[in-house]
Amino acid sequence: MKDAIHKVKQTCYHCGEDCAKTVIKLQDKVFCCDGCKLVYEILNQSELCAYYDMNAHPGLTQKIKVRTNKFSFLDDEKIAQKLIQYTDGKQTHVTFYLPQMHCSSCLWLLENLHKINAGVISSRVNFNTKEAFIVFDNDKTTLRKVVETLTAIGYEPHISLHDIGGVKTNHYNKTRLYKMGIAGFCFVNIMMMSLPEYFAVDESMQLDIGTVFKYITLVLSIPVLLYCASEFFISAWKGLKNKYLNIDAPIALAIAITFGRSLYEFFIVGGNMYLDSMSGIVFFMLIGRWAQEKTQQSLSFDRDFKSFFPIAVNVKTDNGFMPAPIEQIGENDIIEIYNNELIPADAIISKGKAVIDYSFVTGESVLITKEVGEIVYAGGKQCAEKLELLVVKKSSQSYLTNLWNKDVFKEEKKESFFIHALSNYFTVIVFIISGIAAAYWLWQGQTQTMWDVLTTVLIIACPCALLLSSTFTNGNVLRILSKNKLYLRHPDVIQQMAEADHIVFDKTGTLTQGNKLKVSYEGVALNAGQQKLVASLLAQSNHPLSQSVLQYLDIADLYEVKDFKNHTGSGIEGWINETYIKVGNATFVGIVQEREKQSGSAVFVKIENEVLGRYNVKGVYRLGFAQLMAELQTKYHVSILSGDNDAEAATLEKVIGPNCEMLFHQSPEDKLAYIKYLQDVKKRKVVMVGDGLNDAGALKQSNVGIALAEQKNNFTPASDGIMEASVFANFNKFMQYANSGKRIIIFSFIISIIYNIIGLFFAVQGMLAPVIAAILMPASSISIILVTYGLSEWRARSFRLTMP
């Protein structure tokens, strides 16, 4: 049995990853790393192994270890206070964001936290927002210990400056549901109470029943007007104050006129009321809004650099290193930075050797080595030993932060004008029609009919059906897109996507897969012994090229290297078992390389005095990349921006064709400037697809900025949408679907105009019976909802999108 297991691919019991190189065994279980084993041991001790029974391999890999004192800053009262929601000295309430949460095992484990840490009184998970609400006993445990317990079992809470500084937004809008419930209730009951009115039951009945019912409808309509419809009035008023007729203005106007006219009828004339129409408008509009807002609750589209920074670092004081909040760090402070941590401020290295990954800021994936005395910039990630840095600029004034303070990040994005323009024209036309009709009746000398006609026309012709069609179409499109792993922050983004004519891609990390590099060997075949020599030498270097070739070779038990030398930017050399080996670029091993042959990066191998061959390392383009580019170029202008060098320009051009503009060596500012140039000079509507913080400016500047993430809960820069990398090849379909969305809105707009013409035909003649109004209004709303829903589902199917 055991042999059989060995032959099968061994996967980690905890995280399910291949245990290719190192296998750690415990009893009959196999683990990929010590971290995973440790988690298992903790769970085993607390008798929580049911965690593994519910789902196979529920854990996440623990290869990257969290250093022991990482959370010592939580002992600091001031920092802790900002995280804690409530405390009475005995019990403390706190909510953590745990992005690792993904299955029912996670849920179960996190709610059984008290078995691991006895100080936890209760923990309750909200799966949709990926939050855990924890109550703990101050006498038995501390905030730091709770966080450390969570970290120990593989759920390290995401604690960032963003959570601390800003106000936490409640993703979930309960008020909207209350309003919908009440509006629906009032609408249905008002319609029922209006039955005698609709069928104009004979005079006597109308007198007693009808009058009582009218009082009831009036009472029922008041909460609709004052509570349910309040948001339309508030928003319309805000718009008017800024001298701006927004989308809610015509709705608010229609509601106000309908109610006023009904009051007038009730108290003065004793005629028909339109309260059913009014509450119907409110009810359907609220449903539409709700459908639009129902996107992913756990996603955050507004992350800025603050979410990426740690909230505290160790600062040197008279009593040694003590944790301090980032904002308190000033010039000339000495701070400690550990492996895999971000540098929070521009600083000079005072101790240790820096190997920094700036890909976060620049998009360039090559590690940069810095020695003592050199300057390092905020946003870089240390990839080696512990560093001591002398801060030269406060975190808030660093280069990275300055990028964020650029004007683009302060401007609010403009609303989509398409629906807006339509509804504005529409409102104007309605005013003209009602004006003409009123003038006609005035000229006839019938003032009473004039008032009737004027208000009825406004009630009937309110552009609610149009607004309904756009809210419902957008809501459904958003829902279908998010099922297909493109999450948009706002329905307006769909319109912006439909109007776009230029698409800009970032290269590294967007067109190519994040950390994956393709390695191939060319030259004299190396035997196993030689490969082992090369691997041993490469293991000494943490350059990404060395690491990817090493991974490709996949050799365990390496030799010891003597006289190892690292020549930054060219290669490495060393002696192994009396053999001299050199690995590096062409000039380093001493050969002349023709330019055109260099696609991607090449690593040459020289053993003793002979150059044996080279490893070609290329970024791996995402699946379906070539086809996507071909599809997009039939409809859009396409550009590619890259922070990297132009080594791959030729390969790219072969795949994409000559019409695509490609720019290399682009800094974050260059990218931003390019987008601006397209918008201002070429008058293009730009969609930008990027991934890193280095694209943040460009994403913000473009009409639609879409951040690509390997997983939706990964941290992405501020954007209008988040797209999962796995669906990258479908991007063109999404763009086309957004286009269909726009067409569906236009189509349903035409239907609503037809309804309006029928209604107006009766209204201008002053003969609109309440029964016609009562049928026409909900009929138009419901049929438009059905049409938009049906059409958007049908279009999604014809694009072969995944249906919810």
Per CB under 8 A, residues contacting another protein are 50, 104, 107-108, 111-112, 114, 121-129, 133, 172, 174, 177-178, 181-182, 185, 188-189, 192-193, 205, 208-209, 212-213, 216
For residue 530, give both structure tokens: 């030689």
Q: Which residues contact 268 (CB under 8 A, 6 or more apart)?
A: none
Asked whether 133 and 121 are in contact (CB, 8 A), the reply is no
Q: Is 684 helix (H, G, I), strand (E, B) or coil?
A: coil
Three-state DSSP state, 566 = strand
CA dist 403 and 700 (Å) reads 12
DSSP string spanning 705-765?
EEEEESSTTS---S-SEEEEGGGGGGHHHHHHHHHHHHHHHHHHHHHHHHHHHHHHHHHHT
CB-nearer residue toward another protein: 123 or 512: 123
Of the candidates 728, 721, 725, the residue with the CA atom closest to the CA atom of residue 301 = 721
Alpha helix segments (H runs only) across 646-693: 649-656, 668-680
- The nearest distance, CB 202 to another protein, in angstroms, is 11
Query: For residues 205 and 372, which CB has a smaller minimum distance to another protein in the complex?
Result: 205
Q: Which is nearer to another protein, 463 or 475 (CB)?
A: 475
- Nearest-angstrom CA–CA distance, 151 and 14: 15
Rounded Cα distance between 362 and 691, Å, is 11
Sheet containing strand 571-576, edge to edge, reads 512-523, 610-621, 601-607, 579-584, 571-576, 562-567
- Smallest gap, in angstroms, from Cβ of residue 231 to another protein? 17
- In the chain the first and final C-alpha atoms are separated, in Å, by 43
Smallest gap from Cβ 144 to another protein, in A, equals 23
Between residues 296 and 434, which has the closer beta carbon with respect to another protein? 296
Residue with smaller CB distance to another protein, 172 or 761: 172
Question: Minimum distance from CB of 721 to another protein (Å)?
Answer: 23
What's the closest the beta carbon of residue 137 comes to another protein, in angstroms? 13
Residue number, 181 or 657, with CB nearest to another protein: 181
Least separation, in Å, of the C-beta of 209 and another protein? Answer: 6
Specify the amino acid at residue 597: K
Taking the least distance from each CB to another protein, the nearer of 22 and 175 is 175
Report the length, in residues, of the chain.
804
Cα separation, 693 vs 716, in Å, equals 7
* Helix (DSSP H) and strand (DSSP E) numbers for the chain: 30, 28
Q: What angle do CA 280, 284, 285 make, to 5 degrees?
A: 115
Q: Are 408 and 675 in contact (CB under 8 A)?
A: no
The CB-of-50 to another protein minimum distance in angstroms stands at 7
Nearer to another protein, 205 or 775 (CB): 205
CB nearer to another protein: give 227 or 580.
227
Pick the closer one to another protein by CB: 193 or 465.
193
Closest approach of Cβ 702 to another protein, in Å?
Answer: 34
Q: Which is nearer to another protein, 50 or 591 (CB)?
A: 50
CB of 104 to another protein, least distance (A): 4
CA distances from 126 to 123, 136, 299 (A): 10, 17, 14
Q: What would the two tokens of residue 465 be?
A: 């059906």
Q: Minimum CB separation from another protein for residue 575, in Å? A: 59
In the chain, the amino acid numbered 108 is W
Closest distance to another protein from the beta carbon of 111 (Å):
5
